Amino acid sequence: MRHTIEHVFDTSPERLWEVFFFDEDYARGLYERMRLTVVRRDLQREGEGPNLIVRRKLQLAADRELPGALKRLFQGTSTVTEIGEFNAALRRYSVTIQVPVIGNLVDYGGEYTWDILPSGQLRRVWKGHCDARIPLVGGKLEAYLLGEIEKSMAENFAYTRDWLKAHPAS
């Protein structure tokens, strides 16, 4: 399954990604709002501005109840790993999401790209995918995981938009 999600921000790409990756107060508030616990965070930064490259690995535990069949499939664990590589010059942030237990049967992730609209606003586009090679439940798992991404991105967008308004660049 595939999906595309688009959001528009009143900020520059540099400001958006600087906050997204490096503002600890923002991250703490975002994860609290999304009911996620960061179990482990690894972050590598190279360069600055238009030459910025970021490699990030997050292990996240969600405070959410899984549907019955999926709960059995994941055997009580809800920790996922997100691995991402950001490249400012290519205007791309590629993300792979590894789900517990059945990760070798699920190809899950996507890519953010962005551009500047004629209005000067930043348009961020997510093109995501989920391919679950699991007989009988694969399609349901794909729909559930992409639905979770859509809900998470809506929360992320609302929080980030409000954060940027309340904390203008200095």
Q: What is the pLDDT of residues 90-141, one digit of tens each?
A: 999 999 999 876 667 888 999 999 999 999 999 999 999 999 888 887 888 8
Query: What is the count of structural domains for the chain?
Result: 1
Determine contact, residues 67/144, Cβ cutoff 8 Å.
Answer: yes
Encode pLDDT of 48-103 as tens digits. 989 999 999 999 887 766 555 555 555 556 688 999 999 999 999 999 999 876 66
For position 14, which CATH number holds? 3.30.530.20
Helices and strands (H and E) in the chain: how many: 4, 7
8 Å CB contact between 122 and 11? yes
Domain that holds residue 133: 2-166
Model confidence, pTM = 0.88
